[in-house]
Chains A and B, each alone.
Chain A
Amino acid sequence: TQLLEQSPQFLSIQEGENLTVYCNSSSVFSSLQWYRQEPGEGPVLLVTVVTGGEVKKLKRLTFQFGDARKDSSLHITAAQPGDTGLYLCAGTITGGGNKLTFGTGTQLKVEL
């Protein structure tokens, strides 16, 4: 059973478009992180959210943690080809120690 479901699984858009990736769970997370991974490389941390309802912005990326800390979203404005990659949410379950549970992943391709 996958604890963290991401949607969509694949997304192919044109440069300049906006998009939102969702990360949902039935479990409560003490913190949730978003990563971006390029082929053949390890994931790179984009942001960590810890408070229910928290919103963080990183340039054209906006991250939101759900009020109940069970879900999160990543919104990209005016996507660029450089945004192409595998986006992964990951969280530490409340009471689950330090283990990170990764989401199912969203493969984003931004074309010119």
Chain B
Amino acid sequence: GAVVSQHPSRVICKSGTSVKIECRSLDFQATTMFWYRQFPKQSLMLMATSNEGSKATYEQGVEKDKFLINHASLTLSTLTVTSAHPEDSSFYICSARDVLAGSSAEQFFGPGTRLTVL
């Protein structure tokens, strides 16, 4: 099956700093990638849809200036948490769809990134 990687797998940072998380599709091209956030004992909540070559589409309630998304190539999307605060501590998961697999294509999920803001 298709593989999606995330880097780093876990990161600890000080309050006020910015953190960049990378999401890569390793063996397929993805025009669309999705970023989710998951708090402990809870389900995944979609934050934004990352579109290659265009602006990301953010879900209601997600601050686009705080969670910067860049999808510069067909295999890489990045999420930057700017001026991170302890309440941003969470498990961030990305997923990607194969551009060649059609509109009903499965989303392949990355292994997640655990962010802890001190």
Contacts and interface: CB of A to CB of B under 8 A. Distances in A.
Contacts of B44: 43, 88, 90, 102
A99 B49 contact: yes
A98 B109 CA distance: 14
Interface in B16-53: 32, 34, 36, 41-46, 49
A41 B111 contact: yes
A100 interface: yes
Interface of A: 30-31, 33, 35, 40-45, 48, 50, 88, 90, 98-105, 107
B71 interface: no
Interface residues of B, number: 25
Contact of B43 (A40, A41, A48, A88): A88
Residue from A33, A48, A100, A105 with most neighbouring chain B CB atoms (10 Å): A100
Given A43-B109, A102-B44, A107-B41, 7 more contacts: A42-B93, A42-B109, A50-B104, A102-B43, A104-B42, A104-B43, A105-B42
Interface string B76-118: 0000000000000001010101000001111101111010000
A99 B43 contact: no
A41 B110 CA distance: 8
A40 B114 contact: yes
